[in-house]
Chains A and B, each alone.
Chain A
Amino acid sequence: MFEKLRETARELLSKGEVECVLGFAEGTLPMFYTPYLARKPEEAEKLVYGPFAAPNIATYLRKLKGKKAAVIVRGCESRTINLLISEKQLNRDDVKIIGVPCVGALDRKRILKDYGGEIREARIEGEKVIVKGDNGEKAYVLEEYISPSCRSCLYPEAIDPDIKIEGPSRDGEKADFSDIERIEKMSPAEKWEFFEKELSKCIRCYACREICPMCYCDSCFVDSNRPVWVEPGFDYSDILSFHLIKMYHMAGRCVDCGACERACPLGIRLSFLTRKLTKDMKEAYNFVSGLSPEEKPALGVFSPDDREDFIL
């Protein structure tokens, strides 16, 4: 199933058009592809793509700055590359973009939870995920275990790829934000309770920041001690301040790839925040992050008739 991709990568490498091809390969854990850098033509045989790829590959691409690299991307990842180019973190001429189809990324933690015991093997067969382990073989309907961010994805396919690998993708027209709308309708007290329950699990390991392709600051506000924006410890006011400020930094920059949510060891639904941001930016400013490398970040521009119904 990955033949077309592998052939493309092999050719690029053997012709010397690129120094390396960045993508995913089978990992050591089931249902979990690992980021992989193919440097030789024969290494292209390892490349894969699909729902088992949890991180956003652009996180690793930034570290290859200056190298001629090809990168295998889904919709959200191609939008990340556009943002990184517009923020001068990458040169467009250095990257060759290979777009692959995307049916969404798997919410692996939910399968682990529903299965119960240890899973030792997993594969995708058509529209199902087949797992094997402690509790025997079980099949799960893939679509029911897709990450929440992917359910509200507006652009599942890569934007302006240099090379496109064809295949079935999600339908961006069917993006669903109904759960966010439900939260928006709650009273302040209910909202507070809802988020306190969800976010107070946070141990501030900052895995969500480390995995985020747009969180590349050399010094992050959480490490600042003059002033101290967030204090150490488990007080919810500090945890929430961290998430609020991080989300503010992501306004117009988050592509809602869901990588942070999938990386969180506590299984916190960070997509309740990232998807709200996505929804707000679209509704208020008709802005979707990363549609073009020339586009300025939404908070770096303005329009004279921006909404101001919230101003006294």
Chain B
Amino acid sequence: MKDEPKILAFLCNWCSYAGADLAGTSRIQYPTNIRVIRVPCSGRVNPQFIVKALHDGLDGVWISGCHIGDCHYQTGNYYARRRFYVIKNLLEYVGVEPERVQFSWVSASEGKKFAEVARVVTEKVKKAGRAKRLAKKR
């Protein structure tokens, strides 16, 4: 367990969180590395959360919201998409491994896709290894 990475997932209430729920009720297996925080919308995720999560020692951060056009609040994920692009680029530019921060769109009916993306994210974060760069040594 010690070498298993911990991945923080911000899932939007209306789509990706419901997708995770569907994966659960359909008994689809997905990696146990994911720790979920439910947010009202992917637009609620301030990119500062990503920096803080990595700083606090999380090995990866995954943010998932409704597909473009399907946002419960209509435009939340459009704004989120720009913000995530900016912060992902900045993080990579200063040398944080690109694998560590991931974004996806998963709808409430995509239980299978949720599990699949969870696997992909976990594999990518594993490739980057345990967090060492931005993580504060305590």
Contacts and interface: CB of A to CB of B under 8 A. Distances in A.
Interface of A: 183-184, 188-196, 221, 227, 229-231, 235, 237-238, 240-241, 243-245, 247-248, 251, 273, 276-277, 280-281, 284-285, 298-300, 302, 304, 306-308, 310-312
25 contacts: A188-B92, A191-B92, A191-B93, A195-B94, A221-B48, A229-B52, A238-B55, A238-B136, A240-B94, A240-B134, A245-B51, A248-B87, A251-B86, A285-B82, A298-B82, A299-B79, A300-B79, A302-B78, A302-B81, A304-B69, A308-B85, A310-B88, A312-B102, A312-B103, A312-B121
- Tell me which of B68, B95, B135 has the highest count of chain A C-beta atoms within 10 A of its own C-beta: B95
B129 to A, nearest CB: 12
A194 B55 contact: no
A311 B105 contact: yes
Contacts of B68: 304, 308
A251 B83 CA distance: 9
Interface string B45-79: 00110011001000000000000110000010011
Given A184-B93, A188-B95, A248-B87, A312 B48 contact: no
Interface of B: 47-48, 51-52, 55, 68-69, 75, 78-79, 81-98, 102-105, 117, 120-121, 133-137
A247 B90 contact: yes
Contacts of A230: 55
A306 to B, nearest CB: 6
B59 to A, nearest CB: 14
Interface of A: prevailing SS: helix
A241 B96 CA distance: 12
Contact of A192 (B83, B84, B94): B94
Contacts of A247: 90
Nearest to B136: A237
A308 B88 CA distance: 12
Contacts of B81: 302, 306, 308, 311
Nearest to B106: A312
B77 to A, nearest CB: 9
A280 B84 CA distance: 13
A244 B54 CA distance: 12
B105 to A, nearest CB: 7
Contacts of B94: 191-192, 195, 240, 243-244
